[in-house]
């Protein structure tokens, strides 16, 4: 049975919607979206961060500026989907169109997520051409990220690291970066042109509450050489360590000891996987 979706105020029975060939969403990728993980089947669970994800959409709609959607209908759609989709579909994507229409879709967590969180992944450093346009927003034009991720997979990696023209590491194709050096966590600053991730904000707040100082400075080669541990985060997969980065002419391996990662999990106020 097809998993339903919600589009323009109504529950749709299948995975298809009708768009005009001239729709800006289709020909320009003119949408903004946010992706969240519903914890405990509850939109208001603190870890779901429903309000923070809605704030992201509010800001994008106001600044672009686009037609204001029916915000109550977004929640109505999310609640309707919860009664119609399989219980494992805990990832919700909310997409807004320039004219105020909304599209809500769901999907399950990656089946290998626990293994990835425990064992880590391999990442590939993408060329500068793969930078995201309008990086402060999550727009439908995610082509550079998608291409970078496909190129990474061709290198037997699971993620791509995006860089700027100065060679500084910015973010991965799907999340924010974290590096551990000399007892401190580092993350690239928003000013370098990265997405202000909802989970990134939660981690920064949680680490500060634990008394940790997080350094937000550009990830140039000198800083990167100091890192012993590396990870990335997003609202769907939470925290995943990066155990190896593919570079030319050789790769860089990172410490498999997960002890420093426990601070990130504690900042998330979640139980870490069994390392």
pLDDT tens for each residue of 137-187 = 999 999 999 999 999 999 999 999 999 999 999 999 999 999 999 999 999
pLDDT the model gives residue 272: 52
pLDDT the model gives residue 270: 58
What size, in residues, is the chain?
Answer: 275
Q: For the chain, what percent of residues have pLDDT higher than 90? A: 91
pLDDT the model gives residue 274: 53
Q: Is 113-268 in CATH node 3.20.10.10?
A: yes
Q: For the chain, what percent of residues have pLDDT higher than 70? A: 97
Task: Locate 16 and state its tokens.
Answer: 């298809």
Average pLDDT over residues 67-77: 97
- Say which range, 92-101, 178-187, 247-256, has the weakest mean pLDDT: 247-256
> What pLDDT band is residue 1 in, cutting at 50, 70 and 90?
low
**Tokens 């990728």 belong to which residue?**
29
pLDDT the model gives residue 275: 47
CATH C-level class of 5-107: alpha beta
> What pLDDT band is residue 258 in, cutting at 50, 70 and 90?
confident
Tell me the domain boundaries of the chain: 5-107, 113-268
**Do the Cβ atoms of 214 and 208 come closer than 8 Å?**
yes
Give the DSSP per-residue string, the chain. -PPPEEETTEEESSS-----TT-HHHHT---EEEEEE-BTTBTTSTTT-HHHHHHHHHHHHHHTT-PPP-HHHHHHHHHHHHTTS-TT--EEEEEE-TTS-EEEEEEPPPTTHHHHHHH-EEEEEPPGGGPPSSTTS-BS--HHHHHHHHHHHHTT-SEEEEE-TT--EEEESSSEEEEEETTEEE---GGGT----HHHHHHHHHHHHTTPPEE---B-HHHHTT-SEEEEEETTTEEEEEEEEE-SS--EE-----TTHHHHHHHHTSPPP--
Q: What is the average pLDDT score of the chain?
A: 94
Q: What is the pLDDT of residues 177-220, one digit of tens each?
A: 999 999 999 999 999 999 999 999 999 999 999 999 999 999 99
pLDDT the model gives residue 250: 83
pLDDT of 234 over the 60 cut: yes
- Long-range CB contacts (< 8 A, 24+ apart) of 151-157? 151/124, 151/126, 152/123, 152/124, 152/126, 155/124, 155/246, 156/122, 157/121, 157/122, 157/123, 157/124, 157/246
Average pLDDT over residues 81-110: 97
First-to-final CA distance of the chain: 37
Task: Locate 262 and state its tokens.
Answer: 């426990």
**Do the Cβ atoms of 89 and 107 come closer than 8 Å?**
yes
pTM, 2 dp:
0.94
Average pLDDT over residues 119-141: 94
């Amino acid at each position: 049975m097809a998993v339903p979706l919600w589009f323009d105020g109504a529950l749709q029975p299948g995975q298809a919607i009708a768009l005009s060939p001239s729709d800006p969403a289709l020909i320009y990728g003119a949408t903004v979206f946010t992706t969240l993980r519903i914890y405990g089947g509850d939109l208001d669970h603190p870890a779901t961060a429903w309000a923070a994800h809605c704030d992201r959409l509010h800001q994008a709609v106001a600044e672009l500026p686009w037609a204001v959607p029916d915000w109550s209908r977004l929640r109505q759609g999310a609640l309707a989907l919860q009664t119609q989709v399989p219980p494992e579909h805990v990832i919700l994507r909310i997409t807004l169109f320039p004219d105020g229409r909304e599209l809500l879709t769901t999907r399950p967590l990656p089946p290998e997520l626990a293994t990835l969180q425990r064992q880590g992944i391999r990442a590939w450093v993408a060329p500068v051409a793969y930078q995201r346009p309008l990086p402060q927003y999550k727009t439908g034009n995610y082509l550079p990220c998608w291409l970078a991720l496909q190129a990474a997979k061709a290198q037997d990696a699971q993620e791509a690291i995006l860089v700027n023209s100065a060679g500084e590491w910015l973010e991965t194709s799907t999340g924010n970066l974290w590096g551990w050096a000399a007892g401190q966590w580092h993350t690239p600053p928003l000013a370098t042109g990265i997405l202000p991730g909802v989970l990134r904000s939660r981690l920064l707040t949680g680490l500060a509450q634990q008394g940790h100082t997080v350094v937000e400075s550009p990830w140039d080669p000198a800083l990167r050489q100091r890192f012993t541990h590396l990870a990335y985060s997003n609202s769907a997969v939470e925290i995943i360590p990066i155990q190896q980065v593919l570079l030319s002419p050789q790769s860089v391996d990172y410490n498999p000891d997960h002890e420093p990662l426990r601070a990130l999990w504690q900042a998330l106020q979640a139980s870490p996987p069994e390392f």
